[in-house]
Amino acid sequence: MLRGAKELWLAFAAAVVITAMYALVIYLSGNIPAAGEFYGHTLGIVGFLLMLMTETLYSLRKRSRTRVARWGRMSDWLQFHIFTGIVGPYMVLLHSSWKFNGLAGATMLLTIVIVISGFIGRYIYTRIPRTLDGIEVDSAVGGIQASALAQSRRLMALWHTIHIPIGMALFMAALVHIAAALYYATLLK
């Protein structure tokens, strides 16, 4: 049940701290950190790891049938998914050094699309009444019209058919970008 915006406020606070650190690096070095330098790489690596956590941990928890992997409420996992899905891409954006060409630019475009899609999905998700564990509430119990609930469920299903393939394409492009960066920047030196 996502009714508050705690994860959004936490993501905003994290972005403010990250921005302050980024501004400090700019102030101390006199220029925008390059993607291939230590600070730029650190932003990219941590941002990618957060995005990887976004993509995998919530999905694994959601689909898990074993008792061991069913730790925590689904609503908490969804909040974590949203938090990492905002902070990770923001760090990757800063990693880009504001250069959006080639594969890295296409990957950044997919990242922006997936984040916008995530905000849309969050909005649709909050329109469907759920228990604290994230299970949909029946329309009679939830006290809303059955047609409105059915429409929200259809929108959510449509959103999933768009959001998930874009996420997969994003990670394929990101992995190719990482492999190319390792090859050209590290192994050829």
Which pLDDT tens digit goes with each residue over 119-142?
Answer: 888 888 777 766 655 566 665 554
Specify the pTM: 0.78
Give the number of residues written for the chain: 189
Residue spans of the domains in the chain: they are 6-187
User: Could you tell me which residues come within 8 angstroms of residue 120 by beta carbon, excluding any fewer than 6 positions away?
Assistant: 159
| pLDDT above 70 for 180 | yes
pLDDT of residue 69: 54
The DSSP string of 61-123 is: HHH--SSTT--S-HHHHHHHHHHHHHHHHHHHHHHTTT---HHHHHHHHHHHHHHHHHHHHHH
pLDDT of residue 87: 95
Per-residue pLDDT reduced to its tens digit, 73-99: 777 888 888 899 999 999 999 998 888
| Residue 26 structure tokens | 């700019």
